[in-house]
Chain A
Amino acid sequence: MKFIGFFLSLFVTASLITLLNMPFDNIPPIGKLLSPHQGFWQNSEKEPISLDKFIELIELKESVTVQFDELLIPHINAKNNEDLYMTQGYVTAYHRLWQMDFYARVVMGRLSEVVGIKALEYDRLQRRLGLKDMTLKLHDELMKDVYYASIISSYTNGVNTYIASLSQGDYPIEFKLLDYEPEKWTTVKTCMAYALLASTLSRSEADIEHTNFRKMFGENLFNVLFPEPDGTSAPVIPKDTPFDFEPVSQPQKPEKFEVQHIVNESISKQNPLNGSNNFAIDSTKSKSGHAILANEPDLELTAPSIWYASHLTSPDINVMGVTVPGTPVILIGFNDSISWGVTNSPRDQVDWFSVTFKDASRKEYLYNNQWFKTEQILEEIVIKNADNFIDTIIRVHHGPIVYDRDYLSNHEKVNLAMRWIAHDESTTFKALFNFNKANNYDEFVEGLRFFSGPPQNIIYSDTKGNIALNLPGKFPIKFPGQGKFILDGSDPDSEWKKYIPFEHRLERYNHPQGFLSSANQFPVDRTTYPYYVYSHRFENYRNRRVNDRLITMQNIEPEDLMSLQNDNFNYIASEILPYLLSQLDTLSLNEDQNKFFDELQNWDYFNHPNLKAPTNFELWSDILWDQLWDEFDTMSFAVNKPDIYTTSQLILSDSLVGFSDRLSTPEKETTSDLINYAFDIAVDSLNEWLSINGKNHSWNEFKGTEVNHLISSFTSFNSKNISIGGNHNIVNAASKHHGPSWRMVVEMDPQGINAYGVYPGSQTGNPGNPMYGHMITPWAEGKYYNLKFGQNKLLVGDILYEIQLTPQE
């Protein structure tokens, strides 16, 4: 009897514990999560920083001081570079460990391991794109160089020392909610940012979509709907820039170089809303006589933020700015002498080659009329709560075959190999370390030599009043049209052979107009640059607005460039709205329609958060665009719709070539009919929105900008309904999910520079920290913080928290 009682009790106790210690589907072990010692309670923080004031680190050589300022930006002061980067690794992990782990999983195609089968297709794509291979290659190259190997190892050690110091209760909350533990950081992971950024920034292409469209509708219509820009409208490199070099001979266009395929579904691309602005003014435009530089990368707005700010000081270096957590270098920033910033430069960096296999074994493929051996790679993907998945990836000399019988080929036996510059050996890391330490333009240009991509418009300014714009990187010399469509993988003449020499790059050093700027637009006047430049999509509005403003602005102060970064002028509306309004049949408007019309009629084209007209315009123009290209929705194969700029031009010139017809009606609509129809629908949609949301339709309410957590189901870690103006194609590029991810303005005063910055997030990644997301509201309001550097250097009174790291005895 007693035995029964005991065993029964033991059984009940053990069962309860097991139950509470077990995950169910997406629910983490509830006993563990609610434990005050180890669960989420331990992630609730009273103070912004909870590090020990004195920390002993085994591998440290000498003592290091870290002072956190009021924004929680660490100012690291080390006596040698190894200690510097080790400490950077340590404090970055303190603030962002889970995010670093997440990014490493994104790059290595290992998300399924922690979030389950829903990430499988994502992981497969990442591996097929070769992000893991790129990272390993980059890592192996860097580790051959003693200097970089020591930086990477030191940073890695710093992260690992931090991880080793954690008990279960200290793990970031996301580990607890997803029920896994931080694993060891590696030198490979320290190199992950390159693949992460290359995939975010240099994978924009439409070869497959273009091939489909051209096959179905012919070359003429293709050229009307997808024209190539000529670069005469405010290009990155001012039009009067001479290119007085003898160009490398260009490849001949082969007789027949493109293949005709129909591919139903294509891989997901980088978001077209990723874009950025940067601009710099020289001493002549500036009130103080010092150059001023401004930069803001517009990316997906995430929590934790993609950026982590820090100030790194050693006898060798004194640099401040932001970087991707997990990466030991400053990507955008400034030092005592120079500052630099980047915007993406859309350039076709990916071409697709159609590959023919000899037989179903896929062991040989056709090239130059001969059979060559393929390489086969088995990628094993571990999946939480499911069996492992093994993906077979075939490689040919062009690159990995991404589309094949196992992936998106629709059983059509289409095999497409990806040739992507980012697969080649990259030395971009070295470029960035050189920028961090450069004292003048010559040293900066030496750094540019190493910059292999993703292609960026790199803006520069220095304390001597100089400014410059450069587009360094690896660019194949193409014959006109090469890579716009799928290429024939068996034809050697369709391949890339030579690359544009560094000396022939797009560069502008100073300019009589007193400023330089870039905003993802076409880089150069086509008639002046001897090499073929192509991408399927370019910005056409932000660049013109920035240039319009900078031309008229004089006696510029840093605050003026801050205002420009927050400029809400809707260039699209200014160009097309007067025409749209003129096409309306205003005599037959009802009351609601009249109000809608009046709001637009009295609008000055600024997307300010409190105005209603931007909402009206957004609704109307979106519906018009949808109705205009409704023909595209019926196509069962991958195809792109014409962009906003092309659409606007077609509407304004009334040359819509029959697309104005709505397929759902028997009548043949004209452009004017369609504009009126879209107007009616827009008013109805607005009324519906108003009745559902029960608030007024001011732009901020309607747009509802959000900063969402990287794990979409962690909804309470998000910030919703952020009141900010702007939109896509507006300088203040804050749309619903995208926007300025780091705004920086730097005045290059030789007596000590003045730097300002803000980003929509916080240094801490912990939703349980009192400062989580604290910069979001100031960011939305267009406010900036003094960055503690140069003239505003960190004073004793500004130090929020200080820690000392010492070598372990």
Chain B
Amino acid sequence: MKFIIKIFLMGILSYLLPFYFSWWSIALGAGLISLLIRGSNFNSFNGGVIAGGLVWFYLSFTIDNATNSILSEKIALLMNLTDSIWLIYASTLIGALVTGLGSLTGSLLRSILSPKKMSRNEYVSYS
């Protein structure tokens, strides 16, 4: 459940932040969520990949669909791509990777900053 919530929150931030900040603010957003909400590094990365990938896929796909690929076809030609669909894939991949890595970094920072989670054994011995 926490995993779903994390994905959801990272998705919201990935959607909103770039309207106000640079495009790579998606990494900061995801990092922040993983810093605040606990989760394994593996899950944090995956969550980021899913959230960022989904949002960037959704946005590029809907724009492309609504506009009949009017511009993506021209940009694809400029980049020597045979089909504008590759641009949606590329956008999705960038959104996914950058958000995923941001999320992973946030998760790793959390493990440094919160000593309680550093080691379960230590925690037990103190109690």
Contact present for B90 and A41 (CB under 8 Å)? no
Interface size class of B (residues with CB under 8 A): 35 or more
Instruction: Among B22, B72, B78, B102, point to the contact of A13 (Cβ < 8 A).
Output: B102
Shortest CB-to-CB span from A1 to chain B, Å, is 10
Shortest distance between the CB of A692 and any CB in chain B (Å): 22
Could you say which of A29-37, A129-137, A456-464, A678-686 contacts chain B?
A29-37
**Chain B residues near A13 (CB, 8 Å)?**
27, 98, 101-102, 104-105
Interface stretch of the complex, out of A14-22, A146-154, A231-239, A728-736: A14-22
Mark interface residues in B54-82 (1 if CB within 8 Å of A CB, else 0).
00100110011011001111110110000
A309 CB to closest chain B CB (Å) equals 23
Residues of A within 8 A of B87 (CB): 34
Query: Are the C-beta atoms of B105 and A44 separated by less than 8 Å?
Result: no
By a CB distance below 8 angstroms, the chain B residues around A44 are 63-64, 66-67, 70-72
Q: B94 in the interface, Cβ–Cβ < 8 Å? A: yes
Q: Does B24 interact with chain A (Cβ within 8 Å)?
A: yes
Binding stretch for chain B, among A518-526, A564-572, A713-721:
A713-721
Asked if B18 contacts A38 (CB within 8 A), the reply is yes
Please, which residues of chain B bring their CB within 8 A of the CB of A715?
77-78
Q: How far is the CB of B58 from chain A (nearest CB, A)?
A: 8
Nearest residue (CB) in B for A4 is B108
Whether A173 contacts B105 in the complex (CB less than 8 A), given A16-B98, A716-B78, comes out as no
CB-CB under 8 A from A167, the residues of chain B are 19
Q: Using A20-B24, A32-B23 as known contacts, say yes or no to A40 and B71 having CB atoms under 8 A apart.
A: yes
Check if A770 is an interface residue, CB within 8 A of chain B: yes
- Bound CA–CA A13/B45 (angstroms): 11
Query: Is A657 in the interface zone, CB < 8 Å from B?
Result: no
Which residue from chain A places its CB closest to the CB of B77 in the assembled complex?
A: A716
**Residue B1 CB within 8 A of the other chain:** no
Q: Could you say which residues of chain A place their CB within 8 Å of the CB of B71?
A: 40-41, 43-44, 173, 767-768
Contact in complex: A35, B74 (CB < 8 Å): no
Interface residues on chain A, number (Cβ under 8 Å): 42
Q: At the interface, yes or no: A9 with Cβ under 8 Å from chain B?
A: yes
Do most interface residues of chain B lie in helix, strand or loop, or is the interface mixed?
helix
A695 CB-CB contact with B under 8 Å: no
B91 touches A34 (CB 8 A): yes
- Chain B residues whose C-beta falls within 8 Å of the C-beta of A770 in the assembled complex: 67, 70
Residues of A within 8 A of B60 (CB): 34, 36, 41
Given A3-B112, A44-B67, A10 and B105 contact (CB-CB distance below 8 Å): yes
Q: What is the chain B residue whose CB lies nearest that of A38?
A: B23
Across-interface contacts of A17 in B (CB, < 8 A):
24, 27, 98
**Is A5 among interface residues, defined by CB-CB distance under 8 A?**
yes
Q: Are A31 and B94 in contact (CB under 8 A)?
A: yes
> In the assembly, what is the distance between CA of A9 and CA of B102, in Å?
8
A648→B105 CA distance, assembly (Å) = 77
The 8 listed contacts between A and B (C-beta, < 8 Å) are A10-B108, A17-B98, A31-B98, A34-B91, A40-B72, A46-B67, A767-B74, A770-B67
Question: Nearest 6 CB-CB pairs, A to B?
Answer: A768-B71, A36-B59, A35-B23, A37-B18, A716-B77, A6-B108
